[in-house]
Amino acid sequence: MDTIRDLFHVLGNKHNLLTVGCGATRDVIQDCLEEKGLPEKAKKELNEAIENLKSIIKEALEADKIATEIQDRIKMLDPDTGKPK
């Protein structure tokens, strides 16, 4: 059971790094979009990058929700037998 708990701890850390990193990158790109004289092609590509980052964050949050549900179900199992308590 400890191995599973450790796995979810690592997954939680990776999820946090991913969402924080993507959010920070999205914010930097958003700041770049505010630069004057930015070519339209660059604006379009930066907007696409922002949308991709939003999608990654959304999928990471959905994966975290599923992981939390799995953790909750594991807590209902007897650690010795693997059967419901």
- pLDDT tens track for 10-49: 888 888 899 999 999 999 999 999 888 999 999 999 999 9
In a domain, 66, yes or no: yes
Domain assignment of residue 53, yes or no: yes
What local confidence, expressed as pLDDT, does residue 40 receive?
A: 93
Q: Does the pLDDT value for residue 51 go beyond 70? A: yes
For range 70-78, the mean pLDDT:
85
> How many domains, the chain?
1
Whole-model pTM above 0.85?
no
CB 67 within 8 A of CB 10: no
Q: What confidence score (pLDDT) does residue 10 get?
A: 87
Asked, for residue 15, whether it belongs to a domain, the answer is no
- pLDDT for position 1: 56
Q: Does a structural domain hold residue 65?
A: yes
| 77: containing domain | 36-85
